[in-house]
Each structure stands twice: as structure tokens, then as C-alpha cells.
Amino acid sequence: MEATRLFLTPTFKEIICRNLSFEDTVQLRDALEISSLKCSILVIDPKTQRKIILPGVNSTTIEAYELIKRYGLDLALMEVSVRNGHNSVIRTLITAGANVDTVDLSGWTILMMASVNGRNSMVQTLITAKANVEAVNHNGMTALMLASYNGHNSIVQTLITAGAKVEAVNRLGWTALMLASTNNHNSVVQTLVKAGADLNAVSQSGWTALKYASESGHNLVVQTLTAAKAK
């Protein structure tokens, strides 16, 4: 115990942090059987050669460090959203300067990926970091449309509050209301109706949200739309 107390004194940590590599610091943390060691860690972004400082060594910064080393800072943020959605890692990467509006080859943003997968805390983090809620992918889909399509009502509400436009249309003329209606997500339909969605917007196929719901046999959605005076 006396040795452990010595290792954890501020003077020791200040000295040891100046002389250990990231890997050595991780080993020291593990050897001391502690969850976190407050050594600032330098990592070089392989894409930009930018120097990035991570605040201490713990499970979150270890994951962030490894992702940055492999993908670069911005793509590391994208990789987290695809892989597992660890919000603590997202926050660490954003604090390190990652671009929250990074897109993949299909034009998908991190906010879109979080929204389609129902990752509420990540959506909140990205919006707080000023992610663009109106970005569109190559098919004209927005984060709101994707959340509506998969029935993630709490995310739909969050995006609308953040300024997402309920009247936006994709390349086929589909609105978020049409996408929610055709997939029988009545709670999302109710949210969109309350937010002022155009009840009678027409897709390129000439169908409205009510028509999509009716043809799919989604009776509750039909009732909601009819009560709202949809045609």
C-alpha cells in the first residue's frame, strides 16, 4: 500500500507522465489497478499530422487513441457511430476537435447514423456540438427522415426541437411523414403532425402519407391522419 500511495502522489505522476509513452502509461494504470491515470496523452493524426492531446488514460481515451491512430480524428468519430455508439468516446473526440459534420462516401453524417440507429444520447451530444440537422445524404435523406423511417420518436422530437424541417423531401419526394406512415410508426406520425408536417404533400409517385398508410393497412396511422384532416 505504501508503494501504491507513492505512485499516486502528484509529484510522481507529474514526473512519470513526462517520460512514459501512451502504451507504458496504460501498463502503469493497469499495474496500479486504477481506472484512470491523469497523464495527458499526445497522439498524431495520421491524416493531417495534427497533434492531439487526450486528457488522461482511461477506457474512453484508450479507445479514442486507438481509433485516431487507425483512422484519423474525423473518421474516428464516424467509426464510433458505425461500430458501437459509445457516447463518452464521441464526446472525447469532439473535444479533441473532430468535425461533427464529417460525411462518408454516401453523404451520410454522424448525426444521420446516430438517428437511424436510435442512439438518443449520441444525437443529443452531436446537436449540442452544433451538428447540421439539415444535412442530406446522396438520396436526399435527412436525419429526421431516417429517424422517422425507423420509428425513433424521441429522436424525431429532439431533431425537430433542434430545427429540423418536417417538410423536407428526399429525391423521390418522400417526406418524414410519408416514411413514418408507410412503416406504421404512429407515435412518430403524431409528433410530425403536431409539428406542422404537410399532411397532403405528394411524392413523385403521386401518393400522400394517408395513401401509403391506407395501402399498407396501417389503421392507427390512417385514423391519426384522418383526424388531422389529411386527404
Query: 184 and 212 in contact (C-beta within 8 Å)?
Result: no
User: How would residue 16 be classed by pLDDT, with cut points 50, 70 and 90?
Assistant: low
Three-state secondary-structure class, residue 200: coil
Report the alpha-carbon distance of residue 180 to residue 88 in Å, rounded: 30
At 146-160, the pLDDT tens digits run 999 999 999 999 999
Residue 143 has, within 13 A of its CA and on its CB side, a CA count of 33
pLDDT at 11: 44
Q: Which domains does the chain have, with CATH numbers?
A: 1-99 (no CATH), 104-231 (1.25.40.20)
Residue 1 has, within 13 A of its CA and on its CB side, a CA count of 0
pTM exceeds 0.85, yes or no: yes
Cell matching residue 215: 395501402
Report the alpha-carbon distance of residue 182 to residue 89 in Å, rounded: 35
pLDDT at 50: 94
Query: 113 and 82 in contact (C-beta within 8 Å)?
Result: yes
